[in-house]
Amino acid sequence: MKILRFYILYRLPIIVVLAGLGALAHYYKDPITAWICYSLAFISLLLYFMMGTMRLVQEAVSEGEVDKAMEYIKMIKFPRLLLKPIRSGYYMLQSNLSLASDDLTGAEKSIRKSLQTKSKIVGDVTGTNLMQLGFIQLKQGKTKEARQTLMDAVKAGIPDKDSKAAVYLQLCSIEIQRKQNKIGKEYFRKAKALKPKAEEIVKQLNMMEKNIHRLPG
């Protein structure tokens, strides 16, 4: 694992070294060694542009090391050259990291780019991306836009039950704020029917249940 990490971090210098060794082998009339070095350099160059440091970014995020993840993601200089599924993940993670640093504008910009990058390999993640965009818009105070975006997210499909329940609860709150109690209660029922297991979502459900029945409509 340490060797792989080193290779990913120092891929460009390794490419230069391999190309240099290839040229040296070519100079001393060793075509086989030269061909091997050139091939490895070419493959490494492709990996540099098509995969970047995304593996290290994902590892850092899973370990909760936000600063390291941001450091690694900044090392990707040409995101448009990443493979489509990796590019989509890149923009989504970049949006998450921007959210962690309270950069809402950057988070919105990145998630919109992720929405524009579709890949058959990873499947349709439109619903998940729209959900994140909706939550970002809520933090920005764009309640009207967020409501429509979250509704679109539900229509597009959210595979995770906990996430879908969170969206329904948020829509419930928005409708209650709009004095549309009947619609709000319907969203609450949908959220409860999903039987979410995430502790935070369960707490929100229980807290909302204590008050929602008192509302008219």
| Token code pair at residue 42 | 């070419």
- With 0-12 / 13-18 / 19 or more C-beta atoms within 10 angstroms meaning exposed / middle / buried, residue 145 is middle
pLDDT tens track, the chain, 217 positions: 688 889 999 999 999 999 999 999 988 888 999 999 999 999 999 999 999 999 998 888 888 888 888 899 989 999 999 998 889 889 988 998 888 888 999 999 999 999 888 765 445 688 889 999 999 999 999 999 999 999 999 999 998 899 999 999 999 999 999 999 899 999 999 999 999 999 999 998 888 888 887 777 6
User: End of a domain among 159, 178, 207?
Assistant: 159
Q: Which two tokens stand for residue 123?
A: 């499947």
Spatial separation of the C-alpha atoms in residues 128 and 95, rounded to whole Å: 12
Same domain flag for 202 and 136 = no
**HSE on the CB side for 25, CA within 13 Å?**
15
- Tokens at 122, concatenated: 């990873």
Reduced to 3 states (helix: H, G, I; strand: E, B; else coil), residue 11 is helix
Q: What domain range is 195 assigned to?
A: 166-217
Q: How many CA atoms lie within 13 A of 22 on its CB side?
A: 15
Do residues 29 and 124 share a domain? no
Q: How many domains does the chain have?
A: 3
Query: Are 152 and 87 in a shared domain?
Result: yes
Same domain for 13 and 102, yes or no, is no
The pLDDT tens digits for 55-65 are 998 888 888 88
pLDDT of residue 147: 95
pLDDT digit string, tens, across residues 171-205:
999 999 999 989 999 999 999 999 999 999 999 88
Of 11, 29, 50, which marks where a domain is finished?
A: 50
Which pLDDT belongs to residue 48? 94
Residues 86 and 136 in one domain: yes
